[in-house]
Structure 1
């Protein structure tokens, strides 16, 4: 149950906005409503919110344009809602900085799960920022550089690869689900036929092998996810 977490809902349909407010308030959120996209930035400047739930088609500005402006100054997590649910529209939302994308119509149960997943990821990232990853005897992590080295050889990781490795290092010997890794590493939900995470794992394995790191390996656990464990 959320404890007074604040959600700003930007929705111009008064009936649907009321449904959202009633449901989210009932499960414990402090909800603020607005029907005008032009009010988003002023509201965020006046009050701190834990999450922004915003429709894309709004009076006073397109939700994607508003999100682009928002990301220049705010890190507030954003879930977009829209009847425009094509792959192109979802990709456009993520490229502008959305944390999740809910095609309309959706159930209140799904909304709750999506909100919980985003808030859980944000909390994890805040905690992770205070506890940088530790390598081991042969792997040195450089948080500022966002890279690792074995001896004097740097892996030249991308930010996504470093984020993936850091999460695996914090959870050595623990199987991490794909759903969890998608939220923490790629900042979006996992779908059944999505292979983007597998690609990043493959690249990370290759780069660690290239610098001679053999103490641990990233193993796939069928039907579950990945685990960083001592090499056999």
Structure 2
């Protein structure tokens, strides 16, 4: 895999196998990864920690993912890029710094999209 910038990532995923696969691969790159299995836990973690990118599963057990996204972006004023996974159940319009991950099993794509989102976000912040 190509060299990447070390990132701090929040993975919001309720499926333990998917969460484990994603977090293990990101940790293997030397990235710092936090995990939340619910929307409420994710919102709490985001309030306590600054992340470079957030991976948001759109099938959460406790909250509508659109509500989680809206609270992160509007109520908490976050400009952190959010990459939405399993978007067939997600109908919120995404902001320019955000993206969609069409296949959660494609870890290389997840890594590339994380890196791209952070690079785009850094460029926007400096412009």
CA contact (8 A) 2:18 2:104 kept: no
Superposed displacement of residue 42, structure 1 = 1.2
Superposed displacement of residue 99, structure 1 = 0.3
For residues 80 and 20 of structure 2, what CA distance do their matches in structure 1 show?
A: 23
Superposed displacement of residue 75, structure 1 = 1.6
For residues 88 and 105 of structure 2, what CA distance do their matches in structure 1 show?
A: 13
| Structure 2: tracts of 5 or more residues without a match | none
Match of 1:197 in 2: none
1:69 aligns with 2:71: yes
TM-score when normalising by structure 1: 0.49
Match of 1:203 in 2: none
For residues 29 and 12 of structure 1, what CA distance do their matches in structure 2 show?
A: 20
Q: Which has the higher contact order (CA 8 A, sep 6+)?
A: 2
| Structure 1: tracts of 5 or more residues without a match | 129-232
Match of 2:52 in 1: 50
How many pairs are equivalent? 121
- 1:115-148 deviations in Å (ceiling 9; x for gaps): 11101101111221xxxxxxxxxxxxxxxxxxxx
TM-score when normalising by structure 2: 0.86
- 1:149-205 deviations in Å (ceiling 9; x for gaps): xxxxxxxxxxxxxxxxxxxxxxxxxxxxxxxxxxxxxxxxxxxxxxxxxxxxxxxxx
CA contact (8 A) 1:49 1:76 kept: yes
Written as runs of structure 1 = structure 2, the 5 A alignment for 1:80-99 is 80-82=84-86, 84=88, 89=90, 92-93=91-92, 95-97=93-95, 99=98
Bigger radius of gyration among the two: 1
Structure 2 residue matching 1:8: 3-state secondary structure: strand
